[in-house]
Structure 1
Amino acid sequence: MSIYTKNGDKGTTNLVHTKNVSKADDRIQLEGTIDELSCHIGVLKTMIRDGDTIRFLEKIQENLTRIDAGVADPYNREYKINDDKTELLEEEIDRLTGLFHMPKESSLPGACRLSAEIDVTWAVARRAERDLAAVSVKFGSDTGSKKYMNRLADYLYVLARYEEAEAAGQKTGTSKLVETDASSENTELHASGTEKVAGGSVSVDTKVENSLISGTSDSVDEAVIQAVLRRMGMQNKITLDGAKKLIGKIEQEALRRGKKAVIAVCGPEGNPIAVHVMDGAFLVSFDVALKKAYTSVAVKMSTMELSKLAQPGGTFYGVDKMDGGKIVIFGGGVPLKSGDTIIGGLGISGGTGEEDHSLAEYALSVLPEIL
């Protein structure tokens, strides 16, 4: 099927109930602005690391798609925006403003790259709201959509200020990353990256850096190291909590596909962290899933990729006979990475090698939300 139809070559297009509408029509302009706004939000999703915020932005995109559809088909009640969607925006605005000191005066865009990008998105949202108002005057529009667009601009403005505060280390609602027991040298790690110790303070980032370079961590608590690495957007090992969250997402996707599998997660050294057996999974899949996870970190590649290299004449031919039979060469195992660092391995067993590998690739796509 060709992507071009030539139907709009004369500068007209169609709405659901109206044919040959000029592309200069206010309704078409509004649809274009909404598309532009959703694209800007897509850019934000690539820049923001917080999984909850990314999912919230995705819900906004879904609502914008609904509003867009309502412009083309204004009599369809499925495209109306209910007040509960606007209330969710208000709740998120209230939550964010409780985490930092909201400036009383308007801020000039550009305090940091992310906030500047959000401000651009905010400006497009305000334009979309104005375009919607123009359409409402001439053709009428959904009242709920107008409320939602107005509150969306407010949310984006607050989100930009929040990101500025976070970049400047001025958040107040989540000031502590890690707090150790008071009897343990009365130590606290704050979001500023300073470890407060009785009698003085020292930069935790410096201590962690020295510890990582020297290969020792006796002088720095492991939880402190992990907290700093997470704040720096890094991680050197997937945690049990992270493994459980990842397994939960994989299980939901497996159920959607009608698959029953065993899902195993190991650390970067190959030791198991968590194994989950779905109802109805094959007994043999337990051992196979563990081996797939181990193999992925042992050879630092997916077991699907390894299977191609392990064919007769290949670089890794015979590798499955090594390491006491712990190496497997069929799909379903992938290394888990944070940046370029392998933080663990994932093994899935329950279907064909291709089916298991497809589930593993899905897991890699949702891994950033968990980290």
Structure 2
Amino acid sequence: MSIYSKTGDDGYTSLLNGERVPKDDLRIETLGNLDELTSYLGFVKAQIKDDAIKKEIENIQIKIKTILSEIADGKSDKWHISENDVFEIERLIDAYQSMIKIKNSFVIPGKNEISALLDVARTITRRTERSLISVDKKYPVNINSKMYINRLSDYLFVLARHMEIRMEIEEKVTDIIKKHYRKNGIGIKLNLSVAKKLMEKVEKKAESMDLSVAIAIVDMHGNLIAAHFMDGTLLESMNLAINKAYTSVALKMATHELSKLAQPGQPLYGINTTDSRIVVFGGGCPIKYQGEIVGGIGVSGGTVEQDVELSIYGADVFEEVIS
């Protein structure tokens, strides 16, 4: 079935109740604003790491879809926001407001990326509210729907201020930890606990790609710390994963980079004959912290491209894991 129907070529579209209306109808404009709002909130949600806040935003998106259905159907008794929905968002506003001190002055957005995105979402909410009020004059809208959208802009405002303070604190803590490590000469240790968490991340990524792979983590000297293979993975894949991880540390480069240098006529041609553990195809990456190699990760079981993607992903999320 084609995604385009050609039924809107004449400048008209259908509401949920089947009514054909011009595309510049106030209701259509409001539906567009609601759609833009929930889509932008999805973008914000994707940038936030806190699962609780992600869930809050997702619940709000569901409520916006309810309001969207109400406008499109014209029957607020079938699609409606309840008083409890309004009370819930007011509770969230009060909770965030209790954690911060709101200055009695204009806010200049942009202290950090997350708060800036939330402020953009807030302005979209205000625009949506204005169009909703215009619709309400001709096509009455549930009072709770109007209240919810009004409260939503307040929620996004206090959440933006909360994220400004929270991320500022997180940055300061991170700086203190880094200074402590530098001052005391302490390096980040890639131990068994960290290796397990890192392998869990890579395994979830592999599952999302519908792959079964073997994953190996070695320390900065190439010694095996941990290895794991998913159900359905070939036994030989484990040996390859271990050797890929070892190779990435021994030669201080990703194995997909090494494979280019190990071709005939290239400077490292024949390197794999000097050590049986050297692997000259992709799937191994050195793990770095602040530019220093602290270990390596090897992945085997998919295509070369898939193994490369997963090993790079594992190396990239290392700092997230240790934080």
TM-score w.r.t. structure 2 length?
Answer: 0.68
Residue ranges of structure 2 left out of the alignment (5+ in a row): none
- Aligned in 2, Cα 1:13/1:91: closer, same or farther, shift over 3 Å? same
Aligned to 2:159: 159
Q: Distance in 2 between matches of 1:150 and 1:238?
A: 49
Q: Distance in 2 between matches of 1:285 and 1:340?
A: 29
3-state SS of 2:299 partner: strand
- Aligned in 2, Cα 1:53/1:78: closer, same or farther, shift over 3 Å? farther
1:338-368 alpha-carbon deviations (Å, 9 max, x no partner): 7867665332222333343344466578778
- Aligned in 2, Cα 1:341/1:276: closer, same or farther, shift over 3 Å? same
> After superposition, where does 1:199-278 map in structure 2 within 5 Å?
211=183, 217-218=184-185, 222=186, 243-267=195-219, 270-278=222-230
Q: Distance in 2 between matches of 1:273 and 1:66?
A: 48
Q: Select the residue among 283, 287, 290 that pairs with 1:332.
A: 283
Aligned to 1:110: 108
Q: Is the 8 A contact 1:310 1:318 kept in 2?
A: yes
- Aligned in 2, Cα 1:306/1:133: closer, same or farther, shift over 3 Å? farther
Q: Is the 8 A contact 1:263 1:277 kept in 2?
A: yes
Q: Give the letter aligned to residue 352 of structure 1.
A: T
Aligned to 2:298: 347
Greater per-residue helix proportion = 2
TM-score w.r.t. structure 1 length?
Answer: 0.61
Aligned to 2:236: 284
Q: How big is the shift at 1:241?
A: 5.3
Q: RMSD value over aligned CA atoms? A: 4.9
The answer to whether residue 62 in structure 2 is matched with residue 63 in structure 1 is: yes
Q: Give the letter aligned to residue 108 of structure 2.
A: G
Q: Distance in 1 between matches of 2:90 and 2:189?
A: 37
% same residue: 37
Q: Select the residue among 305, 319, 326 that pairs with 2:271.
A: 319
Q: Give the letter aligned to residue 285 of structure 1.
A: S
- Aligned in 2, Cα 1:44/1:351: closer, same or farther, shift over 3 Å? closer
Q: Distance in 2 between matches of 1:80 and 1:238?
A: 52
- Aligned in 2, Cα 1:343/1:25: closer, same or farther, shift over 3 Å? farther
Q: Distance in 2 between matches of 1:274 and 1:242?
A: 10
Residue ranges of structure 1 left out of the alignment (5+ in a row): 178-189, 195-203, 212-216, 226-235
> After superposition, where does 1:44-123 map in structure 2 within 5 Å?
44=44, 50-52=49-51, 55-56=54-55, 59=58, 63=62, 66-67=65-66, 70=69, 74=73, 93=93, 96-97=96-97, 100-103=99-102, 106-110=104-108, 112-114=110-112, 115-123=115-123
Q: Distance in 2 between matches of 1:90 and 1:248?
A: 37
